[in-house]
Amino acid sequence: MKKLFVLIALASLAQVSAAADVKGDVAAAKNKVAMCIGCHGIPGYKASFPEVYRVPMLGGQSEKYIAAALTAYKKGERKHPSMVGIAAGLSDQDIADVAAYYAQQK
């Protein structure tokens, strides 16, 4: 039983380490942000699902913030239905790329 626990612990550490090693690629993100632009690229845009709210602009936000937000949507820790659906289809690399792309914008 101890060997199984050690094996599971090592596998978990490897996954955390691999996720931490992912570096965003701004050029690769250019083909991944089409879905984002429709809402997050319009100054003052308000969406009406599931309720009326102001959609935040992403350009210039912190890379770590954007990656953390997308990861939280993917895990279901953030609850906006549209964002949960979008983030569910993103890999760790996709998230890093999109975060890098928007962080470098002004």
| Residue 85: inside a domain | yes
pTM: predicted TM-score of the whole model, two decimal places: 0.77
Q: Give the span between the Cα atoms of 103 and 93, in whole angstroms.
A: 15
| CB distance 103 to 62 below 8 Å | yes
Residue 3 lies in a domain: no
Its domain, for residue 68, covers 23-103
In a domain, 51, yes or no: yes
The one-digit pLDDT tens for each residue of the chain (106 residues) are: 555 555 565 555 545 444 568 999 999 999 999 989 999 999 999 988 888 989 999 999 999 999 999 999 999 999 999 999 999 999 999 999 999 999 999 7
CATH number at residue 37: 1.10.760.10
Distance between CA atoms of residues 15 and 36, nearest Å: 27
Q: How many domains does the chain have?
A: 1
Could you tell me if residue 94 is inside a domain?
yes
